[in-house]
């Protein structure tokens, strides 16, 4: 009995003692406020409502201590951890809630529900944190776990039954297939249009070339006369002489069948014999000017 009284007195003194908290400043400019810092030669362990982490000592610039509700919460939790009842945890949760320590209030309320899930006062706290009571499990579980246990699926920001989710999946796949078909049809139409444009450009170019050839003026210079080529000489039909004004002589006689080519004159007006060649040395009226 005396021991229990001493324990209760120590608990009361601990609750009256000022609670200390730390602010840890890091080298990179960040800081952790209202935490409990435990420093060693190599690292700094930081305890906070959401959990704890350890940092190398070289990453910590300095640690400053001050009064903190979180430190008080940790002291109270350590004091009731071994022999606390569900009512004690509920009282701690309600105190943390009043202090604005949501993480601590949720933690203490869950501890109370584990000891007595139907304790009056637990339900309002846990419902505010998104917990529901599962009759089959006889305990409080997160709302998401409860919906999954009932066969619902969370999709597009809402809970759906498996049938509704399957229907949405089919509709989504059909919409994707329709969009792919439309995209393929558009690409095919664009390709056909491109081929038509190329064909039209080629046809227009060919028409322009034809019109250009038709509109070209005839060549100015020596009239185009037919040229007859026989082995051994080049025969140009007689033409008027532009230099001497003489009428062209009559065409040289053609060799009789079986006759010799040597019987032909070697030089006539406009006819020059080039032995062993099909091309004359000089053609046309220029020969008269050299005489």
- According to the model, what pLDDT value does residue 4 have? 43
Q: Are residues 189 and 129 in the same domain?
A: no
Band of residue 256 on the pLDDT scale cut at 50, 70, 90: low
Residue 237, domain member (yes or no):
no
Q: Are residues 52 and 75 in the same domain?
A: no
> How confident is the model over 78-129, as pLDDT tens digits?
888 776 789 999 999 999 999 888 988 999 999 999 999 999 999 999 999 9
For residue 52, what is the domain's CATH number?
2.30.30.100
Q: What mean pLDDT do residues 209-221 have?
A: 74
Residue 164, domain member (yes or no):
yes
> How confident is the model over 160-201, as pLDDT tens digits?
888 888 888 888 888 998 999 999 999 999 999 999 999 999
Residue 38, domain member (yes or no):
yes
Q: Are residues 80 and 137 in the same domain?
A: yes
| CA gyration radius, the chain | 57
Q: Are residues 33 and 102 in the same domain?
A: no
Measure the CA–CA gap between 182 and 214, rounded to whole angstroms: 48
Residue 204 has pLDDT above 60, yes or no: yes
Instruction: For strands 233-235 and 271-273, give the pairing.
Output: antiparallel
Contact 60, 44 (CB under 8 A): yes
Residue 55 has pLDDT above 70, yes or no: yes
Phi-psi sector, 117: left (phi>0), alpha (psi -120 to 50), beta: alpha
Highest mean pLDDT: which of 26-35, 77-86, 129-138?
129-138
Measure the CA–CA gap between 253 and 259, rounded to whole angstroms: 12
Q: Are residues 126 and 182 in the same domain?
A: no
Residue 90, domain member (yes or no):
yes
Residue 226, domain member (yes or no):
no
Q: Are residues 74 and 55 in the same domain?
A: no
Measure the CA–CA gap between 73 and 240, rounded to whole angstroms: 132
- According to the model, what pLDDT value does residue 56 have? 92
Other C-beta atoms closer than 10 Å to the C-beta of 172 total 11
Contact 252, 271 (CB under 8 A): yes
Measure the CA–CA gap between 110 and 63, rounded to whole angstroms: 32
- Structural domain count, the chain: 3
Task: Write out the residue range of the structural domain in which residue 168 sits.
Answer: 156-199
Residue 92, domain member (yes or no):
yes
Q: Is the pTM of this model over 0.75?
A: no
Measure the CA–CA gap between 237 and 228, rounded to whole angstroms: 9
Measure the CA–CA gap between 96 and 90, rounded to whole angstroms: 10
Q: What mean pLDDT do residues 27-55 have?
A: 83
Secondary structure (DSSP) of the chain = -HHHHHHHHHHHHHHHSPPEEEEEEETTS-EEEEEEEEE-SSEEEEEETTEEEEEEGGGEEEEEEEE-HHHHHHHHHHHHTTT--HHHHHHHHHHHHHTT-HHHHHHHHHHHHHH-TT-TTHHHHHHHTTEEEETTTTEEEEHHHHHHHTTEEEETTEEEEHHHHHHHHHHHHHHHHHHHHHHHHHHHHHHHHHHHHHHHHHHHHHHHHHHHHHHPPPPPSS-----EEETTEEE------TTT-PPPPPPPPPPPTT--GGGS-SEETTEEE-TT-SS-SS-STHHHHT-
Residue 269, domain member (yes or no):
no
Q: Are residues 93 and 60 in the same domain?
A: no
Last residue of a domain, one of 8, 36, 67: 67
Measure the CA–CA gap between 19 and 241, rounded to whole angstroms: 134
Q: Are residues 88 and 145 in the same domain?
A: yes
Give backbone dihedrals phi and psi of 52, rounded to 5 degrees, phi first.
-145, 160
Residue 263, domain member (yes or no):
no
């Amino acid at each position: 009995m005396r021991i229990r009284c001493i324990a209760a007195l120590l608990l009361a003194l601990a609750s009256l003692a000022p609670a200390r908290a730390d602010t840890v400043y890091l080298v990179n400019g960040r800081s952790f406020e209202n935490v409990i810092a435990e420093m060693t030669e190599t690292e700094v362990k930081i305890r906070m409502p959401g959990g704890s982490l350890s940092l190398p000592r070289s990453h910590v610039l300095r640690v400053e201590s001050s009064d903190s509700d979180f430190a008080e919460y940790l002291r109270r939790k350590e004091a009731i951890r071994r022999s606390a009842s569900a009512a004690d945890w509920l009282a701690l949760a309600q105190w943390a809630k009043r202090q604005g320590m949501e993480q601590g209030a949720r933690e203490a309320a869950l501890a109370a529900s584990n000891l007595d899930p139907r304790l009056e006062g637990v339900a309002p706290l846990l419902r505010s944190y998104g917990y529901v009571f599962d009759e089959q499990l006889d305990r409080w579980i997160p709302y998401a776990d409860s919906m999954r246990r009932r066969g619902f699926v969370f999709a597009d920001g809402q809970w759906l039954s498996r049938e509704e989710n399957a229907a949405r999946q089919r509709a989504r796949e059909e919409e994707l297939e329709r969009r792919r078909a439309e995209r393929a049809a558009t690409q095919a139409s664009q390709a056909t249009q491109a081929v038509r444009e190329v064909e039209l450009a080629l046809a227009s170019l060919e028409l322009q070339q034809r019109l250009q050839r038709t509109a070209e003026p005839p060549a100015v210079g020596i009239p185009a006369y037919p040229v007859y080529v026989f082995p051994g000489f080049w025969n140009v039909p007689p033409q008027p002489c532009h230099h001497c004004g003489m009428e062209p002589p009559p065409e040289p006689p053609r060799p009789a069948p079986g006759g010799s080519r040597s019987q032909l004159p070697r030089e006539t007006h406009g006819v020059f014999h080039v032995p062993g060649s099909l091309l004359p040395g000089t053609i046309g009226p220029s020969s008269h000017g050299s005489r």
